[in-house]
Amino acid sequence: NAGVTQTPKFQVLKTGQSMTLQCAQDMNHEYMSWYRQDPGMGLRLIHYSVGAGITDQGEVPNGYNVSRSTTEDFPLRLLSAAPSQTSVYFCASSYSGARGLREQYFGPGTRLTVT
Amino acid sequence: GENVEQHPSTLSVQEGDSAVIKCTYSDSASNYFPWYKQELGKGPQLIIDIRSNVGEKKDQRIAVTLNKTAKHFSLHITETQPEDSAVYFCAASRGAAGNKLTFGGGTRVLVKP
């Protein structure tokens, strides 16, 4: 299994541009999430999905859209990039087991700079 | 919502010594507390977790303790090695929503040979 993959690894955008960060997992996990990581602030939840066709907002959803048309893919869209969205973005997936949700598996991250 | 505080922000220890990282949480309904290790340029990786019905859990050189009354939990690393150098994050979540983690700010651990 490749686990959780993210593309691109690095991206530079100009203010106002839009783009999509890609995330895919091949573990048949039903749960997927997007986090952003800023220095000294840990990771903050942007959006999450509990299954195909179902998404919900996390702690910091403004400026981002998500969709979940398949179990494998969970893209994150930046509608109009702003310098405040400069960050490292992590996608994660997990599955439910007999004892509830299990370990979240994180992708390698996308480092985004908005100028 | 949940708020997780983590201390210290940096920790330097001699190889072989122990390292302790402490976290406090605000939501008494939180019942799942994972710890993640993040190496440079990589995503976080789970190293140990504990649920609210357990007070302590060990895995080789790593242990986690949980005090539900005081709403704090700690990570203990014994016999530290240079490969333990990384950033460590604590997190908390409630119920079946284990994918909605609230993270602490992280602790950068440096193990000096």
| Confidence (pLDDT) at B52 | 83
Q: Cβ neighbours of residue A62 under 8 Å, at least 6 residues apart?
A: none
Tally Cβ neighbours within 10 Å of residue A81.
22
Spell out which residues of chain A touch residue B99, defining contact as CB-CB under 8 Å: 31-33, 48, 50, 92, 94, 101, 104
The residue of chain A nearest to residue B100, with distances taken between CA atoms, is: A45
Report the residue from A40, A90, A104 with minimal CB separation from B105: A40
**CA B2: distance to chain centroid?**
16
The whole-number average pLDDT for the span B39-48 is 92
Helix, strand, coil in percent for chain A, rounding step 5: 5, 55, 45
Phi, psi (degrees; rounded to nearest 5) at B9: -80, -30
> Are the Cβ atoms of A103 and B32 closer than 8 angstroms?
no
The residue of chain A nearest to residue B6, with distances taken between CA atoms, is: A42
Which residue would you say has higher pLDDT here, B97 or B2? B2
State whether residue A58 sits within 8 Å of chain B by CB. yes
Spell out which residues of chain A touch residue B102, defining contact as CB-CB under 8 Å: 45, 59
Tally Cβ neighbours within 10 Å of residue B1.
7
Which residue would you say has higher pLDDT here, A43 or A99? A43
The residue of chain B nearest to residue A29, with distances taken between CA atoms, is: B99
The whole-number average pLDDT for the span A10-30 is 96
| Confidence (pLDDT) at A16 | 97
Alpha-carbon gap, residue B17 to B30, rounded angstroms? 31
DSSP E strands, B3-113: 4-7, 10-14, 19-25, 30-38, 45-51, 56-59, 62-67, 72-77, 86-94, 102-103, 107-112
| Confidence (pLDDT) at B95 | 62
How confident is the model over B50-67, as pLDDT tens digits?
988 888 999 999 999 999
> Are the Cβ atoms of A90 and B32 closer than 8 angstroms?
no
| Confidence (pLDDT) at A98 | 67
The residue of chain A nearest to residue B8, with distances taken between CA atoms, is: A40
Alpha-carbon gap, residue B43 to A111, rounded angstroms? 11
| Confidence (pLDDT) at B41 | 87
